């Protein structure tokens, strides 16, 4: 099980503005400290810990860079939330990497939008809600 994911950022205030547009809506709480931003999902007693998400300056002091082929995906409740958070993230300084929608290469219920955070890290927002129409449904 993944315990945490850390992305580097050279401008923590800019990163905070971007991630504030989407992570609180997905249930993440923020703790901010001198070492950067820590986003954590609440966990009920007796439940397994969920992965934390950190945005921090680099440890070696060199500029942060986005990894080629690296992407972090966040699950939304439904397709409408994917669209809303994608738009909010763009308004908060993100760059579009793929408008929300279905992709032929993925399963019929995988609804996803892609973007880049201000540092260039690739982020996916997706929903696979079985209660919503899928790509192949007549009502979609």
Beta bridge partners of 122: 71, 116
Lowest mean pLDDT among 11-20, 39-48, 79-88, 95-104: 39-48
pTM: 0.90
Residue 138 covered by a domain: no
Return the structure tokens found at 140. Answer: 């979609």
pLDDT tens-digit series, residues 74-122: 999 999 999 999 999 999 999 999 999 999 899 999 999 999 999 999 9
Q: What is the domain range of residue 24? A: 4-127
76 within 8 A of 132, measured Cβ to Cβ: no
Q: Domain containing 17 — which CATH number?
A: 3.10.180.10
Q: What angle is formed at CA 30 by the lines to CA 29 and CA 36, rounded to 5 degrees? A: 155
CB atoms within 10 A of CB 27: 12
């Amino acid at each position: 099980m993944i315990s945490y994911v850390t992305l580097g950022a050279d401008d923590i205030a800019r990163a905070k503005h971007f991630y504030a547009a989407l992570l609180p809506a997905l249930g993440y709480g923020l703790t901010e400290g001198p070492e950067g931003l820590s986003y954590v999902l609440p966990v009920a007693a007796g439940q397994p810990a969920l992965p934390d998400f950190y945005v921090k300056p680099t440890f070696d002091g060199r500029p942060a860079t986005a990894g080629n082929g690296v992407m972090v995906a966040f699950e939304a409740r439904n397709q409408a939330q994917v669209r809303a958070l994608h738009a909010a993230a763009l308004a908060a300084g993100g760059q579009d990497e793929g408008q929300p929608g279905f992709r032929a290469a993925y399963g019929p219920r995988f609804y996803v939008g892609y973007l880049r955070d201000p540092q260039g890290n690739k982020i996916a927002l997706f929903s696979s809600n079985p209660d919503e129409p899928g790509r192949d449904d007549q009502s979609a």
